[in-house]
């Protein structure tokens, strides 16, 4: 059994895989994180673990996990199942490494664009020969809402509303329209530009906002909220060979 730990900017996800099949998946806040990790190890009799962290995970917490189970940390020196052509490989986010690993594992010999709609919106492209070139990083939906409040004097801070029209008839509906339609327009435009340059492009949408966005995009995509967890599991399996 493989234990997968994904520490994001806002929450921590745990998953357990039996080979390539996920049998457990849950998200937690940081305050009960170690307790949940220990419970998973004992309940599912996990043999190996991998951790990807873009958040503020303490060294002491990582060391505690290492005392319980063999642990691999995702970083720029880890053996990965693709060729990293990023010009600054040491700065490549560990979450993006996991997403690209999932792409080459699940769509071998395909041109794949992975869009992760989370705290930030990231775009990552890997070609049919498993060459990873990079992509883009854009503000996520919640960041866009917060920025309007922070950098203006009169605009309110709103919670995301995905049921929007093109024309907002009030300040609030105009904000919702601008942010949500802006994100959708950005994604569709970028997908189209990649399709022009790459034949038979496969597009995967993942991240916290995937269920709200997947049926609103014009382009055909695969929606998978667990894509990063699956990618981390593929990296762990790859390193255990």
Judge whether 228 lies within some domain: yes
Do 107 and 176 lie in one domain? The reply is yes
Decide if 232 contacts 206 (C-beta within 8 A).
Answer: no
Q: What is the DSSP string of 25-85?
A: EEEE-GGGHHHHHHHHHHHHT--EEEEEESS---HHHHHHHHHHS-EEE--TTS--SSEE-
Do 10 and 106 lie in one domain? The reply is no
| Percent of all residues in the chain with a pLDDT value above 70, rounded to a whole number | 99
Q: Give the strand order in the sheet containing 21-28.
A: 21-28, 12-18, 2-7, 48-53, 71-73
Q: How far apart are CA 199 and CA 197, in angstroms?
A: 7
Give 200's DSSP letter.
Answer: T
- Tell me the pLDDT tens digit for each residue of 70-122: 999 999 899 999 999 999 999 999 999 999 999 999 999 999 999 999 889 99
Considering its fold, how many domains does the chain have in total? 2
CATH number of the CATH domain containing 48: 3.30.420.40
Domain limit, last residue, from 73, 98, 130: 73
Judge whether 156 lies within some domain: yes
Domain limit, last residue, from 73, 94, 110: 73
- Which positions are catalytic? 95
Q: pTM score, two decimals?
A: 0.92
Do 63 and 145 lie in one domain? The reply is no
End-to-end CA distance of the chain: 15
Domain limit, last residue, from 16, 45, 73: 73
Task: Choose among 231, 188, 229: nearest CA to 15.
Answer: 229
Do 92 and 53 lie in one domain? The reply is no
- Tell me the pLDDT tens digit for each residue of 3-51: 999 987 778 899 999 999 999 999 887 767 888 899 999 999 999 999 9
Q: How far apart are CA 172 and CA 156, in angstroms?
A: 8
Judge whether 238 lies within some domain: no
Q: How far apart are CA 173 and CA 160, in angstroms?
A: 11
> What separation in angstroms does the CA of 143 have from each of 1, 150, 160, 173, 183?
36, 10, 10, 17, 12
pLDDT band at 151 (very low <50, low <70, confident <90, very high): very high
Q: How far apart are CA 8 and CA 223, in angstroms?
A: 19
| Residue 76, both tokens | 């720029």
Do 136 and 42 lie in one domain? The reply is no
Do 223 and 117 lie in one domain? The reply is yes
Domain span including residue 210: 83-232
Q: How far apart are CA 139 and CA 186, in angstroms?
A: 11
Judge whether 197 lies within some domain: yes
| Percent of all residues in the chain with a pLDDT value above 90, rounded to a whole number | 79
Judge whether 61 lies within some domain: yes
Do 58 and 135 lie in one domain? The reply is no
């Amino acid at each position: 059994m493989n234990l997968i730990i994904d520490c994001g900017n806002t929450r921590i996800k745990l998953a357990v895989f039996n080979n390539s099949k996920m049998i457990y998946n849950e998200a937690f806040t940081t305050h009960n994180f170690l307790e949940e990790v220990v419970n998973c190890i004992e309940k599912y009799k996990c043999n190996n673990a991998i951790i990807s962290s873009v958040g503020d995970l303490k060294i002491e917490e990582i060391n505690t996990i290492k005392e319980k189970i063999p642990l691999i940390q995702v970083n720029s020196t880890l053996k990965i199942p693709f060729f990293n052509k990023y010009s600054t490989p040491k700065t490549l986010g560990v979450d993006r490494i996991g997403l690209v690993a999932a792409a080459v594992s699940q769509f071998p010999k395909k041109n794949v664009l992975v869009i992760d709609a989370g705290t930030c919106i990231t775009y990552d492209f890997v070609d049919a020969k498993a060459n990873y070139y990079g992509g883009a990083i854009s503000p996520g939906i919640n960041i866009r809402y917060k920025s309007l409040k922070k950098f203006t004097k009169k605009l309110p801070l709103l919670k995301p509303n995905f049921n929007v029209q093109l024309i907002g008839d009030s300040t609030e509906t105009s904000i919702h329209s601008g942010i949500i339609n802006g994100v959708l327009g950005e994604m569709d435009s970028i997908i189209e530009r990649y399709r022009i340059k790459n034949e038979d492009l496969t597009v995967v949408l993942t991240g916290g906002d995937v269920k709200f966005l997947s049926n609103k995009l014009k382009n055909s995509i695969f929606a998978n909220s667990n894509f990063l967890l699956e990618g981390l599991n593929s990296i762990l399996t790859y390193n255990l060979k």
